[in-house]
Amino acid sequence: MINLEWYRSFIAVYQSRTMTSAADILCLTQPAVSQHINALESVLGTKLFDRMPRKMAPTEEGKVLYTRVVESINILESTTNEYHQERTNPKSIIKIGTPNEFFFEKILGCLDVINCIYRISFVSSESLLEKLENGKIDVAITTKKESYNKRIEYKKIFTEDFVLVQSTKSGSSLKEFTDNNKEQPSEALLLQQNWISYDTELPIIRSYWRDAFRSRPAITPIVTIPNLHTIAKAVEIDKGVSILPSYICQNAIDAGRLEVVNASKNTVSSNDIFISYRKEDLKNKDIALFEEALFNKARGA
């Protein structure tokens, strides 16, 4: 039966090259380490060290074994240390439900502000409130504020602006067809485009259409992709046009891969994003710190 202590002794002897110094490192006596090495060699049926004058020289088998086990033993030791640390000095856990894309752009960068453990789940807006109320998440990032619910605290942290984008590789720039400096293409022209949408309900496009044309878009998207980053990529390679939050596609715009077709701020629709949590957590200092960090990050501070 293998004893993992034998491997600790093996690694200590391998690294220090003498049993005596290995014993010092392990806080054992030299004979104990000697017995470990002998026991390991006996079980494995191979010699791991050549006993040289004043030093232990690893054999080829010893070198191979060291390479194969050192990482595993180190992981075991660090896992033990971490577990002990967590038991003696437990960190609080914040469970966050958020849209995938918002997490990547705005939350990921501020996780290290608080020394706690995060559990992230990407959930739809519809189920966020329910998960918040039944304790499956502690913080929700949502675009809807259901003010009738008195148990949930909402705070606006960000306003996302939407832009109509097309690929700079596109043969015909929609900007060139803009009518009489209206700063956005005509509805008729837009209806002729290949549209890429988040889903068939056209959640963002519908909102944009309402603001820009006071009507509903008669559009059948050529492709629906339930991820805003992937939609941006699809537009970049000229699979179609779409309407996206500016923070999702700003890098591609700056790099010249995407072109904003509407330039007037009057015709750009927008949406508020809220952080929400249970009112009983109003005095939770970790959540308060997280909210502050997110608030600053969302505003680019």
Q: What's the CA gap between 90 and 76, in Å, rounded?
A: 20
Six token digits for residue 17: 């090259």
Six token digits for residue 13: 């002897």
Question: Which of 51-59, 127-135, 264-272, 278-286 is the region at the interface with DNA (rule: CB under 7 A)?
Answer: 51-59
Q: Is 56 in the site for DNA (CB under 7 A)?
A: yes
- Helix or strand (DSSP H, E) at 278: strand 270-278
> Beta 196-197 vs 223-224: how paired, if at all?
parallel
In the complex with DNA, which residue's Cβ is closer, 4 or 75? 4
Q: What is the DSSP letter of 9?
A: H
**Among 15, 55, 64, 109, which residue interacts with DNA (rule: CB under 7 A)?**
55
Q: Is 35 in the site for DNA (CB under 7 A)?
A: yes
Closest to 247 in 3D by CA, of 163, 132, 144, 141: 163
Contact 133, 151 (CB under 8 A): yes
Q: Is 38 in the site for DNA (CB under 7 A)?
A: yes
> What is the footprint of DNA within residues 2-31 (CB under 7 A)?
3, 5, 13, 18-21, 27-31
Q: Is 77 in the site for DNA (CB under 7 A)?
A: no
- Helix or strand (DSSP H, E) at 211: helix 203-213
Q: Is 109 in the site for DNA (CB under 7 A)?
A: no
In the complex with DNA, which residue's Cβ is closer, 27 or 218? 27
**Among 7, 12, 34, 66, which residue interacts with DNA (rule: CB under 7 A)?**
34
Binding site for DNA (CB under 7 A): 3, 5, 13, 18-21, 27-32, 34-38, 51, 53-56
